[in-house]
Amino acid sequence: MKRAAVTLAVLVGWLSLLAPPAIAQSWQYSFQPSNQIGSQFQIGIRSKFGETAYWATFIVSAPGGQAYSRTIRVSADNWGYLTYPRDFRAPARAGAYRYVIVVSGKIAIRAKFKLR
């Protein structure tokens, strides 16, 4: 388990360095607290021009270096959402988090948030 987390963390690092950013104007993203009890946040992505469906990989780096990922298929110009930590089967720990959303091997979104 620990080895898988380290491998995923290394993958996130390489993606951040090697993957060129996707065209900024073509992606919209959403980040908001969930209405559910506890510290949960909804993260979303949408293709502004929405011509075709795509796969989006959400990678969240938690405090302490653990990384969690999940891939979803998003159709046309619909929003694709995941809720952290629920959809990632991850613990919710206080601290600073970073996340990237990768589409077609390119980083479409790079952002951060804090859980208190």
Give me the mean pLDDT over the 1-30 stretch: 58
Buried/exposed 68-98: b ≥16 CB within 10 Å, e otherwise? bbbeeebeeeeebbbebbebbebebeeeebb
Q: How many domains does the chain have?
A: 1
CATH of the domain at 60: 2.60.40.10
Asked whether the predicted pLDDT for residue 30 surpasses 70, the reply is yes
Strand partners, 55: 73
Q: What share of the chain is helix, strand, coil (3-state, %, to 5)?
A: 20, 45, 35
Q: What is the pLDDT of residues 41-84, one digit of tens each?
A: 899 999 988 878 999 999 999 998 999 999 999 998 899 999 99
Range of the domain at 30: 2-115
* pLDDT given for residue 13 in this prediction: 55
User: Of all residues in the chain, what percent carry a pLDDT higher than 70?
Assistant: 74
